[in-house]
Structure 1
């Protein structure tokens, strides 16, 4: 009799779906066995980038170039090395549809070299001749005049020196992630660079206490306004921000600071452009896509995860970034879109939604293989799933029958805060609902909590700060300004973050600038704003100006993050509820040996508020959102000490209490002092 998978044993709710879960697991084992039988290992299988693309043969003194174009009729390589003569260097096709050519240094007089600009000239299955960028190109650059992209041979004479990069993500206890976009991380109205990010932003991240950055828009994308989510060249870091070596330097410097670097990888779709990307590269619609291969909502092309050559391409891409650039893991974008044929646009209130014919089994197989590969290449690396559906097993180990992600994003948490801030008056905020939303996660599924990410910072949405304070931020953030909306906004901004980081999960994420309530949304250069970079930036100077109140939020975020690290809050599991007083909007709970007290009431500050504590003794304040240095009113003496008293129930049980001044719209963190 077949042994029941641990994922089923640990969750009886999944018992009716055991057959489908077993099928997925055995399908993975079969595919892995096929790979190992034919190649030797998954690790060796994921080496397409070491075969395709440009590779210099130092023995034969020349370049091999290869690409996979099974339906093409003719393929040529050309570029500035041969004065853009399209038909001089034809490629030869093998029986599997791979095309190749060897071009010696003697043939070109050494002109084909590092930095050469190149393209393929392809006569596709449709009979058309088109100039194309190779699928495995490692750098693509944009012509400043024509704005066209072209491939570039990238093979520096000196390899980047990683010899003193000894960082290991295993040294980080709990992830505190600073989500960032290199191009928009600068104060100037323009595109930021890898070097500027290394010099300006990394020290800021370090000072705030975050121990990981999550980089968006790494892989090349033709339209800047896609935020990096319409990828064209999957093996090329975006040239807008600098060279591949400058990206490596950024990562190496981050590692020297004890900061991990996670890549926001996009394997959920790819750009439709035929001039820059892989769409119709051999003249067919289904080279990398299924026959019906367009994403109905994103204006992009889908991947056919069941096609072995597509698995080969994507798995090699997974290995490439870890190996070549020393990334410490991935946040997989659009996982819900990948694993359902309806792309996540459905209702997920029943078990059947996860185990029916709308599920893309091929995508689940691919993601399971990808997670397996990540651990083989870099055992300490992490993978994060952006899955709104809550697919069972997403962040359960492969050995236990899951898909193998280390973390899933708690996407319901920002949705909850948006709903409250948009639709629920302060006096109707429900303490129990807050508690339940932030605690509603499976104990064996590691979750990344966040109040807001880049999604809320884009035009068309609003950050928490902007929802709270709106236009008042433009004229009432000076320290001597008196404004009730600003006072409320600053108070709730801190409380929402503190509650989320403390109760919401096993890791925490913040989008750059949101920690200090950045007042501007992100709007890309586009025709509608006259191609302006005015809103594609971060105004760090606001968080450094003593006369503005942004600095108060910045200081609080740093204090909150450092407290979370110092007291190991994120690894402490679920909070223990001591009191939820919905009438007074007061929440009291214990987490990591600390006592947290939140008063969400808009007006009621309660003297001598009697509240339970876990043990008898003295308590002192170690963090107070109402502290004047964090933009509060300083209504509670930071040096206050609270001594417990004991009461005995009729049943003889002893309970311990303290009395505090429980001030409105504030939170304090208390530490037990023996």
Structure 2
């Protein structure tokens, strides 16, 4: 693809060309100034300088604390007393450091910093701490010297980036059937094989960086370089990533650089008596968290280094950047509908956030050209997922956040026969010309307590009593049929990739509710009931089998463009070509079509998938041995198919 500007890619941006050019000049010049002649990859090596390191002579520890007046390492090695030999000395640019002999520290020892500043002092954890554990019988956390005698030895090569990311969004802690916090090792042994068998090729792991409050879902991070100790050790996480690679699965993680936990003792909230060392003077109005100040070069260095740390140290394959909309706008996009291009080009856009997001993508793709970056972004900012050489911010994909809201709105407000199929098809297939998107019907957001998953909206309380395969029930039959069709339409119209949250592929019956005071600290809803999918007697198996069969087809469709999209509202029919596959879906609750004609690419076709198969809970009314041939019609070619009510099929073009 030849180099094009954003305006050439989207002529509707022409009235804003001046703003676009000015922003590009600001972003490019600021990055050049910040890099100071270094490459993006070398700039992001802050973890080689700061934090605790072994050297030929012993140990070196460095910290950035420009407002501090005195800093001491205190830990098990000093009987938790402040000692002269562990006192840091001030260096240039607000840095502090200390050199220690070899026998001063040992693997697994706990430690903290005692930081003094004008008018106060307090316990703090190092900003580059790589392992942090909660003290026994206490809410306090300590950093840990993590230098095992035998470093982890990687076993498997990193799989290549898939043409179509099929993302399995997962949370390690709630992945067990037991009412507890599951571990990295349990996830490796029990869940990785499930994801492989389900047909997904990418795992998106939530809550990997350390976060004090379990119920935050990992979005209130306190220690950005530390893998969450509640799930296991750093080596346990390496083993998980390595095993996933051995199965051919890529691993991306949620990275939270939009904000940070307000915690001060174990976090960055007030590191050395200056709450603005890392952050803006005001907090996030909706999230009760601190907002990074992207205008500070030191903050850009910290965050960019954090991106590289996870790539280098843990071999992760990319990131889903959380809360990007909040980063982009000074008002965080709260209460805005973004219905006009003018919304993207006013003074509300944070130009320093643009700098950081471009820099982060430059770093990530310089270190790992095959890495995948996804922006959780709902405003649709032009250029977000465009190549940086086009003037974009460089994300590989944008998360298409409007689609699950549309499905929920449809289920809540409309009868089956009144679904706006044209609106659904348009929204699901639409994306900006310069970007690829990850489409999804529901994620963890729709499963949280206070909301409902799609299957629960469709079936409701019948899920508790009528899910045995031997139990005929019209409510459940409708729900299962529509659950399959929703996924068929959503995946079929994807604009780059697809995402599913752990358990939703088989219609996990209940919501997510982490242990908290309001539920008496119960883990009942912070787990996954895999036995429902596995025991062979329940209808959940049908949904799981259908989803796995669907993934085998979707992984073959790497063309982001849809062809021959046809919606016939009166017939409740949607059909389209995507790659070499022809999708036809009948959403009617009661009307079957015996000879339904729809435009398709000329050729012959075979049946690739039918939602009506018995092993998917259907009635087996579609013949798998039939061949389908197009016939000329006006300036097009048509395919003729038989399609029962609430049924969808995929035909594959064979010649």
- TM-score normalised by length of structure 1: 0.94
How far residue 44 of structure 1 moved from its aligned partner, in angstroms, is: 1.6
Aligned to 2:47: 49
Aligned to 2:254: 264
Aligned to 2:420: 430
* Residue among 590, 598, 601 paired with 1:614: 601
The CA distance in 2 between the partners of 1:193 and 1:323, in whole Å, is 22
Aligned to 2:581: 594
Check if 1:176 corresponds to 2:175: no
The CA distance in 1 between the partners of 2:621 and 2:51, in whole Å, is 65
Kept after mapping to 2: 8 A contact 1:35/1:42: no
Aligned to 1:273: 263
The CA distance in 1 between the partners of 2:202 and 2:221, in whole Å, is 23
Aligned to 2:484: 494
Check if 1:352 corresponds to 2:363: no
Check if 1:67 corresponds to 2:63: yes
The CA distance in 1 between the partners of 2:71 and 2:312, in whole Å, is 30
Aligned to 1:540: 530
1:426-479 deviations in whole A, cap 9, x for unaligned?
Answer: 111122112211121123311111111111111121111111111111111111
Classify the secondary structure of the residue corresponding to 1:587.
strand
The 5 A counterparts of 1:553-632 are: 553-565=543-555, 568-569=556-557, 571-577=558-564, 579-615=566-602, 617=604, 619-632=605-618
1:26-62 deviations in whole A, cap 9, x for unaligned?
Answer: 2232233324435x3222221111111111122x2x3
Check if 1:114 corresponds to 2:112: no
Aligned to 1:663: 644
How far residue 383 of structure 1 moved from its aligned partner, in angstroms, is: 0.7
Check if 1:102 corresponds to 2:99: yes
1:632-656 deviations in whole A, cap 9, x for unaligned?
Answer: 1223333344455555x5xxx5744
Classify the secondary structure of the residue corresponding to 1:302.
strand
1:643–1:122 CA distance, 2 compared to 1 (3 A): closer
Aligned to 1:314: 303
Aligned to 2:498: 508
Aligned to 2:87: 90
How far residue 208 of structure 1 moved from its aligned partner, in angstroms, is: 1.2
The CA distance in 2 between the partners of 1:356 and 1:302, in whole Å, is 21
Classify the secondary structure of the residue corresponding to 2:570.
coil
Aligned to 1:521: 511
Classify the secondary structure of the residue corresponding to 2:426.
helix
Classify the secondary structure of the residue corresponding to 2:36.
helix
Kept after mapping to 1: 8 A contact 2:132/2:141: yes
1:101–1:430 CA distance, 2 compared to 1 (3 A): same
Kept after mapping to 1: 8 A contact 2:563/2:577: yes
The CA distance in 2 between the partners of 1:654 and 1:80, in whole Å, is 78
How far residue 573 of structure 1 moved from its aligned partner, in angstroms, is: 2.6
The CA distance in 2 between the partners of 1:655 and 1:386, in whole Å, is 39
1:471–1:114 CA distance, 2 compared to 1 (3 A): same
How far residue 158 of structure 1 moved from its aligned partner, in angstroms, is: 2.1
The CA distance in 1 between the partners of 2:70 and 2:407, in whole Å, is 56
Aligned to 2:26: 27
Aligned to 2:285: 296
Aligned to 1:335: 324
1:616–1:8 CA distance, 2 compared to 1 (3 A): closer
Aligned to 1:446: 436
Kept after mapping to 2: 8 A contact 1:168/1:380: no
- TM-score normalised by length of structure 2: 0.96
How far residue 374 of structure 1 moved from its aligned partner, in angstroms, is: 0.6
1:592–1:655 CA distance, 2 compared to 1 (3 A): closer
Kept after mapping to 1: 8 A contact 2:546/2:611: yes
Kept after mapping to 2: 8 A contact 1:627/1:638: no
Aligned to 2:241: 251
The CA distance in 1 between the partners of 2:636 and 2:321, in whole Å, is 50
Classify the secondary structure of the residue corresponding to 2:267.
coil
How far residue 92 of structure 1 moved from its aligned partner, in angstroms, is: 1.4
The CA distance in 1 between the partners of 2:638 and 2:332, in whole Å, is 52
* Residue among 609, 615, 637 paired with 2:623: 637
Check if 1:167 corresponds to 2:158: yes
1:645–1:405 CA distance, 2 compared to 1 (3 A): closer
Classify the secondary structure of the residue corresponding to 2:280.
coil
How far residue 613 of structure 1 moved from its aligned partner, in angstroms, is: 4.2
1:634–1:99 CA distance, 2 compared to 1 (3 A): same
The CA distance in 1 between the partners of 2:141 and 2:470, in whole Å, is 51
Kept after mapping to 1: 8 A contact 2:376/2:399: yes
Kept after mapping to 2: 8 A contact 1:35/1:41: no
Kept after mapping to 1: 8 A contact 2:280/2:290: no
Aligned to 1:145: 137
1:406–1:611 CA distance, 2 compared to 1 (3 A): closer
How far residue 616 of structure 1 moved from its aligned partner, in angstroms, is: 5.4
1:514-535 deviations in whole A, cap 9, x for unaligned?
Answer: 0000012111011111111111
The CA distance in 1 between the partners of 2:74 and 2:196, in whole Å, is 46
Classify the secondary structure of the residue corresponding to 1:200.
helix
1:207–1:95 CA distance, 2 compared to 1 (3 A): same
1:407–1:579 CA distance, 2 compared to 1 (3 A): closer
Aligned to 1:8: 7
How far residue 412 of structure 1 moved from its aligned partner, in angstroms, is: 1.2
Give runs of ≥4 in structure 1 deviating > 6 Å: none
* Residue among 105, 121, 136 paired with 1:129: 121
Kept after mapping to 2: 8 A contact 1:578/1:613: no
Classify the secondary structure of the residue corresponding to 1:510.
strand
Kept after mapping to 1: 8 A contact 2:159/2:249: no
The CA distance in 2 between the partners of 1:93 and 1:599, in whole Å, is 71
The CA distance in 2 between the partners of 1:576 and 1:498, in whole Å, is 16
How far residue 272 of structure 1 moved from its aligned partner, in angstroms, is: 0.5
The CA distance in 1 between the partners of 2:638 and 2:256, in whole Å, is 52
* Structure 2 residues not aligned, in runs of 5+: none
